[in-house]
Copies of this chain bind each other. A is one copy, B any other.
Amino acid sequence: MAKKLMKGCEAIGEAAIKAGCKLFFGYPITPQNEIPEYMAHRLPQVGGTFVQAESEVAASNMIYGAAGSGERVFTSSSSPGISLMQEGISYIAGSELPVVIVNIMRAGPGLGGILPSQSDYFQATKGGGHGDYRLLVLAPWSVQEAADLMQDAFDLADYYRNPVMVLGDGLIGQMMEPVEFKAERTPCKPLPPKAWVATGCSGDRPTNIINSLFLDPEVLERHNQKLKAKYDLMVRDEVRCASYGTDRPYEVLVVAYGTVARVCSTALDDLREDGVGAALFRPITLFPFPYAELRAAAENARAVLVVELSTGQMIEDVRLALEGSRPIHFLGRQGGMLISPEAVSERVSAISAGLPEEVRHG
């Protein structure tokens, strides 16, 4: 198919449709309103259904019901709305339902602002809801990648019977870039039949029950361990990351995800021109985090710089990966302020000139 110039939000919506998703439940919130608006317009055209939920709480429970019926479904929101879904997400994970959740992050905490941010990293990767569960978290850096990952998200969700989050910031949502959808696409995972769906029982099998309640602690423990085994499998099989400029020698390794990594890539180009050797490591899956891959990439560097639109969240995973093997620097902006290539270049130059590492454990 030909390339089309699309907003990230629209590309995400179209990608869902291309992935066979016919159901969307969601509530308006900036900066992702174009997703529900796109779905409201497009879904009826493909025989699907758009429902504007009364709230994000309701939306998270509507996708639960739809997923439990075996249909592909997604919701999307932005930070405060995602917070409201935490109970629902925990239920979805506990009941092992395949759903896709899009978070187009804005600055917080509280009402905060509506400009781009990456300060929901902890919530997305460690679990903002209660209990031991994990989301598989995908972080695109371009509109095309958002479209691609969005399609994979449905396959991953179905394969693992687990909620998958596509985590973008306001830039990904609002930016327009050329996007191409493949005419034919093969799922990125084999898709097991959904024998577990609750869609009526004629008595020819035991009833199917979508549920996360296990009153017997031994049974619940087994359930917890089953979930854990699933997450371990994701850790083994689903890590995705990319690097930029690692094919040439580098002194400083920049670690960033999402659109911030884009900004860093421009900075690295500029730095090369100035003769400073620096490379970029970009986690694409935030859970599972590419610990081993990052550690290997950092071996070749003298120091590491983490760049985030937050006061420092992914940096904890970077520390876990490096275990003190390299000094770690941090460059963060908050509140919707963006990081410019210039700011990155400047900090990398300073580090390569010998800037000492800051104190740990802020």
User: A: which residues have CB within 8 A of B?
Assistant: 57, 79-80, 82-84, 86-87, 90-95, 105, 107-115, 117, 119-120, 122-123, 126-133, 211-225, 227-228, 231-232, 235, 289, 291-292, 310-311, 313, 316, 319-320, 323-325, 333-337, 360-362
A337 / chain B contacts, CB cutoff of 8 Å: 217-218, 221
**Which one of B108, B313, B333 contacts A90 once the chains associate, using CB atoms below 8 Å?**
B108
Assuming the contacts A84-B87, A323-B323, asked whether A112 and B335 have C-beta atoms less than 8 A apart, the reply is: no
Known: A112-B130, A132-B334, A217-B336. 9 other contacts (CB 8 A): A93-B109, A108-B130, A112-B131, A112-B212, A122-B126, A127-B128, A218-B335, A320-B361, A323-B324
Determine if B128 and A123 form an interchain contact, defined as CB atoms under 8 angstroms apart: yes
CB nearest neighbor in B for A319: B320
A86 / chain B contacts, CB cutoff of 8 Å: 83-84, 86, 123, 128-129
A217 / chain B contacts, CB cutoff of 8 Å: 107, 113, 115, 335-337
How many Å from the CB of A349 to the closest CB on chain B?
23
18 contacts between A and B (CB under 8 A): A83-B128, A83-B130, A90-B108, A90-B109, A94-B109, A105-B130, A107-B131, A108-B132, A109-B133, A110-B212, A113-B213, A113-B216, A132-B313, A218-B335, A218-B337, A220-B336, A221-B336, A320-B320
Going nearest first, the 3 A-B pairs with the smallest beta carbon separation are A108-B131, A110-B212, A94-B110
Assuming the contacts A108-B131, A112-B131, A123-B129, asked whether A83 and B79 have C-beta atoms less than 8 A apart, the reply is: no
A110 / chain B contacts, CB cutoff of 8 Å: 90-95, 131, 212-213
Determine if B111 and A291 form an interchain contact, defined as CB atoms under 8 angstroms apart: no
Bound Cα distance A123, B83 (Å): 11
Bound Cα distance A334, B92 (Å): 18
State the copy count for this chain. 2
How many Å from the CB of A102 to the closest CB on chain B?
14
CB nearest neighbor in B for A360: B291
Determine if B83 and A335 form an interchain contact, defined as CB atoms under 8 angstroms apart: no
**Which one of B82, B107, B220 contacts A107 once the chains associate, using CB atoms below 8 Å?**
B220
Determine if A123 and B130 form an interchain contact, defined as CB atoms under 8 angstroms apart: yes
CB nearest neighbor in B for A55: B57
Assuming the contacts A217-B335, A334-B221, A335-B218, asked whether A108 and B94 have C-beta atoms less than 8 A apart, the reply is: yes
CB nearest neighbor in B for A292: B361
Bound Cα distance A221, B220 (Å): 43
Determine if B362 and A228 form an interchain contact, defined as CB atoms under 8 angstroms apart: yes
**Which one of B129, B223, B335 contacts A219 once the chains associate, using CB atoms below 8 Å?**
B335
CB nearest neighbor in B for A106: B130
How many Å from the CB of A228 to the closest CB on chain B?
5
Bound Cα distance A324, B320 (Å): 9
Determine if B120 and A130 form an interchain contact, defined as CB atoms under 8 angstroms apart: yes
**Which one of B79, B129, B132, B219 contacts A131 once the chains associate, using CB atoms below 8 Å?**
B79
Assuming the contacts A333-B221, A361-B291, asked whether A132 and B119 have C-beta atoms less than 8 A apart, the reply is: yes
A109 / chain B contacts, CB cutoff of 8 Å: 90-91, 93-94, 127, 129-133, 212, 227
